Amino acid sequence: MGSPCIDVCRYDEATGWCVGCGMTRKDKKAWKKQKPARPGIREALPGRLHALEAAGKAVGKAARQKKDGKRKDD
């Protein structure tokens, strides 16, 4: 099972969730070391990203921006 990380790695201060993939720092460590935890982590991510988006945050690929505000080409 591939990692849901999309290399954005910026965390919402209120929740601790990455705005790119939804994982916490703790989730990312568990993903690497505890394979049985992966399905549970992956299951939580869509709800987290939806909650961040509902709070007005850019999430997923939309959160991937250059410092000048332009989006990176995928």
In tens, the pLDDT along 20-29 reads 999 999 999 9
| Helix-helix angle 38-54:25-33, to 10 degrees | 160
In a domain, 2, yes or no: yes
Full residue range of the structural domain in which residue 43 is found: 1-64
In a domain, 21, yes or no: yes
Alpha carbons 38 and 68: distance in angstroms, whole number: 35
Phi/psi for 52 (5° steps) reads -65, -40
Domain total in the chain: 1
Condensed to tens digits (0 to 9), the pLDDT of residues 35-57 reads 999 999 999 999 999 999 999 99
This prediction's pTM: 0.82
Percent of the chain clearing pLDDT 90 (strictly above): 82
In a domain, 70, yes or no: no
In a domain, 72, yes or no: no
In a domain, 39, yes or no: yes
In a domain, 73, yes or no: no
Residue 68 predicted with pLDDT over 70: no
In a domain, 37, yes or no: yes
pLDDT of 37: 96
